[in-house]
Amino acid sequence: MRQIWLVFLKDVQQEFKTRYAINAILLFAIVTLSAVSFSIGTYTATARILAALFWVILFFSSMSGLSHIFIREEETHTADTLKLVARPANIYLGKFLFNLILLILLEIILIPLFIAVMNFQIVNYQIFLSTMFIGNFGLAGGGTMVAAIISKASTKGALFTVLAFPILLPVLVSGISATRKAAESAKLMDVQNELQALFAYGVIIIVASILLFDFVWNE
Amino acid sequence: MSKVWKLILYLGLALIIIGAFIWAPLEPKILKEYTRIFYFHVPVAWICVVFFFIAAYYSFQFLRTRDLLYDAYAKISNELGILFAILATVTGSIWAKVTWGSFWNWDPRETSIFILLLIYGAYFSLRSAVEQEDRRARLAAVYSLLAFVTVPFFVFVVPRIYFSLHPEPVINAQGKIHLEVRQRVIFFSSLLFHTVLYLWLFQMRKTQVKLQMILRQYKEYKMLEE
């Protein structure tokens, strides 16, 4: 447990010094949001379209930001030292925790902006916030694993999106459906299918990643 | 594959193709002639999922034993898998156009075959992005297993939760089969014979890859001797 926390702290400190990943992810989100809002103009889109747009922006912003932890390790050549220090499962969980906090920070800024700029009326905040919270685990878990895989490959940027999209698609499907219901209905019971699917996906992807991470990390 | 089995396979497939067009009764109300594609679309889609499982199995074996032959098997099962995914998507779109009016609807089963296509495509782009052979094999195997974990969500869970355009004559909640006898015969024998045909194709490809690997090892051995 302590190793997980130490890996996480190391990444937080490194991030604090350069602020590379948080800048990339935030700016990408703001640029995409501005582009979308500008293109739509004064027209208020329906809840269904707004829910989809929100998740598209979130997904592509996380695509630009989640792979930084592993790529930075490879580029600064600290990966070998890290291999000696901690067990693979702990490294994965530490990086996963970092990505989770990164996503939460992104959403703290993106959600109010999106609601304000796109005029997204949310009827039930319980549904919305629980969807976001559970969905983050799936996004961060799958994203961290795929980031580890592509950090060993040669062409890093585009490959991450291509590989991550099929893996993260269940989160998108359930998330968009649940967010749409958050804007339309008023009861938490209506989204129990989606929340169950998101929760199950999060558990499965994290367990599978812990089991498989050893093979990616150690030569 | 022995000659007798080959003969049975050829005869069986010929009979099925003829029977699908002449013998099987038509769905009388609306679909009429269009139902015929059902006998070919479903086996192809089913085979695509089977190859996906086979690829995950060989990836698992590779990670367990680090034998590059298993990686070669995983690669060829993915190749065949993407071929059948493309076939299933195309036949499915044709059926969708004539039955439901448009080529693509994002119905849950359509989405799942699209995801399988994407996974196969991502697998091959990952393979082409890594230079060293054993690293490539390892990363591709891990990705294949990761994708294997994700797919059951789409193939089995989502169509049951959300509304689906796909009809449910065979797999449904009551557990009954809503096909007539003749349709049933053609459908299940089509499924069986197509499965045998494509597994035979896979077996031939496996032998080819194994021979290639043996040849390569022999050449390396000869080089080391000199």
CB distance A208–B146 less than 8 Å? yes
Judged by a CB distance cut-off of 8 A, whether residue B179 touches chain A is no
* Mutate: best of A163, A173, A215, partner B, most B CBs <10 A: A163
Q: Which chain B residues are closer than 8 Å to A153 by Cβ?
A: 126, 129-130, 139
Helix (H, G, I), strand (E, B) or coil at B27: strand
Lowest mean pLDDT among B30-34, B131-135, B173-177, B195-199: B173-177
The mean pLDDT value of chain B amounts to: 79
Residue type, B179: L
Whole-model pTM: value is: 0.85
Residues in chain A where the model's pLDDT stays below 50: none
* Predicted local confidence at residue B194, as pLDDT: 82
Residue A73 buriedness (CB in 10 A; 0-12 / 13-18 / 19+) = buried
Chain B contact for A203 (CB, 8 A cutoff):
no
User: Does the CB of A165 have a partner CB in chain B at under 8 Å?
Assistant: yes
Could you read off the pLDDT of A163-203 as tens digits, one per residue? 999 999 888 888 888 888 888 876 777 778 888 888 989 99
Rounded to two decimals, the ipTM of the complex is 0.88
Q: What percent of chain B has pLDDT over 90?
A: 21
Least confident window among B21-25, B133-137, B194-198:
B21-25
Distance from CA of A17 to the nearest CA of B (A): 31
- Rounded to whole angstroms, the Cα distance separating A37 from A57 reads 11
Average pLDDT (B23-27) is: 62
A150 close contact with B: CB closer than 8 A: yes
